[in-house]
Amino acid sequence: MIDLKGHQALITGSTKGVGRAMAVSIARAGADVLIHGRKHDETAQQAIDLCHEAEVRVEMVTGDLSGPTEPSVAEIFNQATELMPDIDILVNNAGTYIDKPFLEMDLETYELTMRLNVASGFFLTQSFARRWVERGVAGRVLFTGSINGILAEPTHTGYDTSKGAVASMVRTLCVALAPHNIRVNGVAPGLVRTPLTSILDEDKVLDDWMKLHTPNGQVPDADVCGDAAAFMVSDSAQHIHGQMLLVDGGMSAWQQPDPPR
């Protein structure tokens, strides 16, 4: 039911995890996709191969968006528009969690988190929006937020701050760009299984605890985020602007689960 034929999409941070799931779903919906990662390694090739199975055009750009923002963004933007000049979908997914305890947090770690999780998406969106406005393109932008944008954890102070900024950015860029026929939305996953959450596979007590705090009792693979992303950038969501879609099994709706019997 989701048809993205005729579209081209750049998905940052799409060699694994949530980004790869989004790229695969967008490819299966018919769009040509541009994979992004820091390097073209075996993991990146796996993502490319999965997208190729949808029989769409698949390319890759490389670059580190956690570096100085202006040159990092320019490098990705220039590579992307050279390979696929008609990109009209941008998914700002690149991000990381590298927190230290708050009392030990240093400026370098904080600034790296904010550059990658917030600034890179802000200015990459600006670069594409300028191009789209000039060309009269009805662009679609999707940010990957997190349940941590609304619920806090004491060990995630930098990450939570960045994802709260992403949630606000979705709203403010919506207001700035909707008059130009550019839609801006976000997808906010709850806890899903990615390389960053691999500890769940090793710690059954933690895994059970997280399932207890999720109404549907699941901690699923990142694939659950893929179709949500494809929907949000499709014409089926044409009147959805400035929204953060929580893909969290109901975790954000539950104040406190009952203790186990």
Residue count of the chain:
261
pLDDT digits (tens, 9 = 90+) for 238-258: 999 999 999 999 999 988 887
**Which percentage of the chain shows pLDDT scores above 90?**
82
pLDDT digits (tens, 9 = 90+) for 26-65: 999 999 999 999 999 999 999 999 999 999 999 999 999 9
pLDDT of 260 > 90? The answer is: no
Point out the residues that are catalytic.
Answer: 159
Name the band, by pLDDT with cuts 50, 70 and 90, for residue 208: confident
pLDDT at 202: 77
pLDDT at 261: 75
Name the band, by pLDDT with cuts 50, 70 and 90, for residue 174: very high
pLDDT digits (tens, 9 = 90+) for 103-142: 999 999 999 999 999 999 999 999 999 999 999 999 999 9
pLDDT of 198 > 80? The answer is: no
Both tokens of 221, joined, read 């693979």
pLDDT of 170 > 80? The answer is: yes
- More confident call, 176 vs 261: 176
Domains of the chain: 8-245 (3.40.50.720)
